[in-house]
Amino acid sequence: MKHLSKICLGMALSSTLVFSPIASALNIVLTNDDSWATPNINILKSQLEAAGHDVIMSAPCTGQSGKGGAMTLMKAVPVDKSKAAQQAYCVGQTDATLAFEDYAEGTPVMAVLYGIDVAAAQVWGSAPDLVISGPNEGNNLGYMNNNSGTLGAAMVALSRGVPAIAVSGHMNTANDEAQSQLVAATVVKIVKSLEDNRPEGQALLPAYTGLNVNTPEDMTNHLGIKFTDVGWNGGGHMMAFTDDLGANREMMSYVAQSIMQRTGYDFETSYQIAVAQFTGQPGLAMESGDAGDSSDNSEGVAVSQGYITISTIDGNVQAARGKVALVSQRLVGLE
């Protein structure tokens, strides 16, 4: 059944990934984990609206990468409504001078729930037709999806019965608008394909079902769309703890991208600032590794090869029945 649904989705998308008038306008909640100020989310909002959709942006006020399904509980959480006329809201505290006990971050999960429960109810009087989480600045692949705020927002939307698409681009989309425009155009095409091919009276995707979409570094010369499994491969990266973050080129490149976005400095200058800031400091870093998964059908492998990948997700942590049987044999007699 899983392979059949993937084949059907593939046929639908491959037959409609061309520009043509939108079938009908959708009510879409757009969120991310990089904040509402990123080029990626604003470019996608503009392209979705140009395609005829009604879009509410409800995203964290500040960067919340790697927060997964995190939530701030038992604290009042501010919502910035200064751009309500543009149907754009951000969730979370921004005053860094506050004491820890008074500071309430707006995580991706909280931001998308504001969009579904409050903003959508006020604007449309109903739940959205679709949640799109992203595009993220950096790919979310394989086992790394467990930590992703982009995926965390998509998963909580699925739990509320709303179809969801998680979208992640290469890190270069943080500063390369041309790449961001191409990623956004791909998302608009995917949404159109889902709308064009959904059975009458049904949701865009089956219940509790979403998509994890990743785009490669060079969207100008990508190899096309490949329908993949999530797998374990994180795109050639593994997380590891190091006692010297400044010596890790992967992590310093990521930090440099953030510095470039804030300051406008070139990459080399930003990289040197990052190294100076983190040399000798311990913390989590990215290292090369495939988590033991080199399958060509894993999204982490395919996106590294240059494909746009689409994996079907459902938020279910239940192991396959075959694995359940193997484990239960080792627990025989347990009371």
How confident is the model over 251-297, as pLDDT tens digits? 898 899 889 878 889 999 999 999 999 999 999 998 889 999 999 99
Same-domain status, 204 and 242? no
Same-domain status, 281 and 318? no
Query: What is the model's pLDDT at position 2?
Result: 41
With respect to residue 330, please indicate whether it lies within any of the assigned structural domains.
no
3-class SS at 312? Answer: strand
With respect to residue 332, please indicate whether it lies within any of the assigned structural domains.
no
| Region of poorest pLDDT, from 27-31, 156-160, 199-203, 319-323 | 319-323
Q: Does the pTM of the predicted model rise above 0.85?
A: yes
With respect to residue 109, please indicate whether it lies within any of the assigned structural domains.
yes
Q: What is the pLDDT of residues 124-176, one digit of tens each?
A: 999 999 999 999 999 999 999 999 999 999 999 999 999 999 999 999 999 89
- Listed in sequence order, the residues at least 6 apart from 118 whose beta carbon sits closer than 8 Å to its beta carbon are 79
Residue 212 is part of which domain span? 2-232+292-323
Same-domain status, 179 and 272? no
- Listed in sequence order, the residues at least 6 apart from 285 whose beta carbon sits closer than 8 Å to its beta carbon are 239, 240, 241, 242, 245, 248, 250, 251
306 φ, ψ (degrees, to nearest 5) = 115, 10
Confidence of residue 335 (pLDDT cuts 50, 70, 90): low
Structure tokens at 164: 């969801």
**Could you count the other beta carbons within 10 Å of the beta carbon of residue 221?**
8
Same-domain status, 157 and 267? no
Structure tokens at 212: 């994890």
- The C-alpha atoms of residue 28 and residue 188 are separated, in whole angstroms, by 12
With respect to residue 145, please indicate whether it lies within any of the assigned structural domains.
yes
Confidence of residue 74 (pLDDT cuts 50, 70, 90): confident
With respect to residue 333, please indicate whether it lies within any of the assigned structural domains.
no
Query: What is the model's pLDDT at position 298?
Result: 97
Q: What is the domain count for the chain?
A: 2
Query: What is the model's pLDDT at position 13?
Result: 54
Same-domain status, 94 and 209? yes
CATH number of domain containing 140: 3.40.1210.10
- pLDDT at residue 117 greater than cutoff 90: yes
Residue 43, burial from CB neighbour count under 10 angstroms (0-12, 13-18, 19+): buried
Is 168 in the active site?
Answer: yes
Same-domain status, 243 and 219? no
Same-domain status, 143 and 261? no
Q: Which of 35, 58, 65, 168 is catalytic?
A: 168
With respect to residue 334, please indicate whether it lies within any of the assigned structural domains.
no
With respect to residue 16, please indicate whether it lies within any of the assigned structural domains.
yes
- pLDDT at residue 319 greater than cutoff 90: no
